[in-house]
Chain A
Amino acid sequence: MSRGKAVPAGYRWAVASRVAGAFIGGYALTSAATVLLALVWPLPKAQAVLSASMASFALYAGFVIWAFHVRRLRWIWGVVLGGTALLSAAAWMLDAGGAA
């Protein structure tokens, strides 16, 4: 902890926030994207679920890479919150429509 001066606390919080946004936020966003992808993939239902789930790791990796590159933290959290909400809403509407 004697290195507190060398690395300011603000920087550490920014890194922590970025890590959380990239990994936890990214997982939420990827989950929402996976559900939507499974619903819209033009394949029999089980095959679409399998395809979307297999692709999810690439999506997740892509998002984390982006999140560690983008300059502003606000962007990451904006995309995580907005994107997850939007994708989930779309999936919810499609799923409800399909079930009816």
Chain B
Amino acid sequence: MKDTLRQSMAWLHTWVGLVAGWLLFFVFVTGTAGYFQQEITRWMQPERVVTVAPAEVDRTILAERAVARLIAVAPIAASWQITFPYRQPGNRDWQNFSIRWEEMPSGAHDYGASASERLDPASGAVLPLDPEPRETAGGSGLYRMHYALHYMPYDWAIRIVGVATMLMLLAIVSGVITHKKIFKDFFTFRPGKGQRSWLDAHNVVSVMALPFFLMITYSGLVFFLFAYMPVGKDVIYGTDPETSGAYYDELYEGGEHKHAPISRPVAPLASMIAQAGKAWGMDQIAWITVERMEGEVPTVELTHVPVGLGRTDAATMRFNAETGRRLPDEPSPSGVPGATQSVLFNLHEGLYADIWGRWVYFASGLLGCAMIGTGLVLWTVKRRRFHLNEDRGHQEHFGLRLVESLNVATIAGLPLAVAGFFWASRLLPVGMMDRAAWEYNSLFALWLGTLFYALGRPLRRAWIELLWAGCAAFACVPLLNALTTGRGLPASLRDGDWVFAGFDLTMLGLAGGLAFTARKVQRRLRPAAPAPAPQPVLREAQA
């Protein structure tokens, strides 16, 4: 299209980035928060009972207690599952000691109803549910928006995000091609040089986390594989929901299987648990499943605590429930492609990562925000020069002004809106109707407000004021927390409550980051040279 590959790729990069940039910024901000979604939810429900490490009880005894309860409550079932107390990887919450069962399906249904109960490890008694904490959108609400957006049908949202993701993939590839001296430029930073500095900043953050961006983009597409590229499955397996399920049956169950009713395993669980405990370590046994497929022997399957990248197909040990004999491992019917897919999912979600790994993810996500933000600003900086060269310097160009306002509202406004989301979680009445919905509404109302603000204020003022407002809003979150709960920063630091302390400190860190950005922008956008004429006008506009 243009003369050289680099020129045409630069063109593609510019326009693809502009079209998708604002939505991608939102996706990156909310998705990055998702790496701490459980911690955020806990912060948003300060009265929720903190799960402490449960009392250590031998897994053999726990299994006996669980089976006794299952026999009482579901003597004949399609499947039983016993979950031992274990800590989810990455310093996440404790999994409670619990049982779950699925009843035999009735009539034409494929699955029976399933139910679960929490048990007391010490006595085996059924535990009452914890008191219901306040309703909240929580960290999962924030996280869910990065693919399901809000206020719109799910099927639309994932497709809109999918288009933006595809454009991001193109922006990455064309950006790399544009940048032939990618590694040399990585060490180039020319601060205080206007457009050059924006370009260098954009290059540095983009190259720094390039593998992360590629991985997160491609795996994001694979998450909604058949929403985005349905044709292969549709042509080969048909679109009829009755028959197209065969694809999943072949891939995940190795053909069609029906549950036959099970009851208490004849063989003792104790020896199976001992075998798995010897191979993995006792506390590494996560759960036990008892089930039977039609025409086969009933089985007991022990599953390892999910670890590592292959966690969706965690290691298991299978036994014949009648004889207690160990059964050979079944190869996964999804093969290498299935393993590839689950590795992509795990890389995207980072569930395998420990606490430090999650911080690396969080930092990479913030670099993504920085990449998109600097890219969007770079577009306007270049464009403004283009218009100046055309000697249209004094004439506000509508398109340019629109992009600049949207940039301000997105890059400076969205952080403010997210801080507002946390404010809402503390300030909305605890017993309010549709409380979670109003947390979302607070975020979006505030965000819309920043757009009006950006449209109404002189550009430079809008940038600086909104960035400082975001900084103040984040800085006040720990204060608000200390005033409205007993778990403020001094208390949480003293108690070693790292979920609360970590959250509050992160808020202060974000406030610091926004202050840094505001200072940078303030200096950068300072009216160049002696410009005495527009100054009084600016001041009037402020007053």
* Beta-carbon contact of A57 and B337 below 8 Å: no
Contact indicator per residue, chain A 36-65, by CB within 8 Å of chain B (1) or not (0): 011100011111111111101110110011
* Beta-carbon contact of B225 and A53 below 8 Å: yes
State the CA gap A37–B229 with chains docked (Å): 13
* Beta-carbon contact of A35 and B8 below 8 Å: no
Partner of B166, one of A34, A39, A60, A69: A60
CB distance from A65 to the nearest CB of B (A): 6
**Which single residue of chain B is at the shortest CB-CB distance from A62?**
B173
CB distance from B390 to the nearest CB of A (A): 8
State the CA gap A68–B333 with chains docked (Å): 40
Partner of B1, one of A45, A61, A71: A71
B86 within 8 A of A: no
* Beta-carbon contact of A56 and B170 below 8 Å: no
B183 within 8 A of A: no
Chain B residue contacts of A50, Cβ below 8 A: 225, 251, 334, 337-338, 341
* Beta-carbon contact of B247 and A49 below 8 Å: yes
State the main secondary structure of chain A at its contact with B: helix
B174 within 8 A of A: yes
State the CA gap A53–B225 with chains docked (Å): 7
Partner of A44, one of B5, B225, B335, B340: B335
State the CA gap A31–B173 with chains docked (Å): 21
Beyond A31-B229, A34-B232, whether A54 also contacts B337 by CB under 8 A is yes
**Which single residue of chain A is at the shortest CB-CB distance from B248?**
A46
* Beta-carbon contact of A53 and B235 below 8 Å: no
B280 within 8 A of A: no
* Beta-carbon contact of A34 and B337 below 8 Å: no
CB distance from B19 to the nearest CB of A (A): 10
Residues in A69-92 with C-beta less than 8 Å from chain B: 69-71, 91
State the CA gap A60–B166 with chains docked (Å): 9
State the CA gap A32–B229 with chains docked (Å): 11
Total contacting residues, chain B, CB less than 8 A: 39
State the main secondary structure of chain B at its contact with A: helix
**Which single residue of chain A is at the shortest CB-CB distance from B237?**
A49
* Beta-carbon contact of B9 and A65 below 8 Å: yes
* Beta-carbon contact of A53 and B226 below 8 Å: yes
* Beta-carbon contact of B236 and A45 below 8 Å: yes
CB distance from B395 to the nearest CB of A (A): 10
* Beta-carbon contact of A38 and B232 below 8 Å: yes
* Beta-carbon contact of A35 and B235 below 8 Å: yes
CB distance from A55 to the nearest CB of B (A): 10
B353 within 8 A of A: no
Chain B residue contacts of A65, Cβ below 8 A: 9, 12, 170, 173-174, 177
CB distance from B95 to the nearest CB of A (A): 30
State the CA gap A72–B391 with chains docked (Å): 33
**Which single residue of chain A is at the shortest CB-CB distance from B217?**
A57
Chain B residue contacts of A95, Cβ below 8 A: 235-236
Residues in B457-507 with C-beta less than 8 Å from chain A: none
* Beta-carbon contact of B251 and A34 below 8 Å: no
Chain A residue contacts of B64, Cβ below 8 A: none
* Beta-carbon contact of B236 and A35 below 8 Å: yes
* Beta-carbon contact of B251 and A57 below 8 Å: no
Residues in B509-542 with C-beta less than 8 Å from chain A: none
Contact indicator per residue, chain A 7-34, by CB within 8 Å of chain B (1) or not (0): 0000000000010000000000011101
B424 within 8 A of A: no
Partner of A54, one of B5, B177, B225, B237: B225
State the CA gap A77–B218 with chains docked (Å): 27
Contact indicator per residue, chain B 343-376, by CB within 8 Å of chain A (1) or not (0): 0100000000000000000000000000000000
**Which single residue of chain A is at the shortest CB-CB distance from B250?**
A46
CB distance from B538 to the nearest CB of A (A): 28
Interface residues of A (CB under 8 A from B): 6, 18, 30-32, 34-35, 37-39, 43-54, 56-58, 60-61, 64-65, 68-71, 91, 95
24 contacts between A and B (CB under 8 A): A30-B229, A34-B231, A34-B232, A35-B235, A43-B335, A43-B337, A44-B250, A46-B251, A46-B334, A47-B335, A47-B337, A47-B338, A50-B225, A50-B338, A52-B232, A53-B229, A54-B225, A54-B344, A56-B229, A57-B218, A57-B221, A64-B12, A70-B1, A71-B1
Interface residues of B (CB under 8 A from A): 1, 5, 8-9, 11-12, 166, 169-170, 173-174, 177, 218, 221-222, 225-226, 228-229, 231-233, 235-237, 247-248, 250-251, 333-338, 340-341, 344, 390
The 7 closest A-B pairs by CB, nearest first: A46-B250, A31-B231, A46-B251, A38-B232, A51-B337, A50-B337, A56-B229
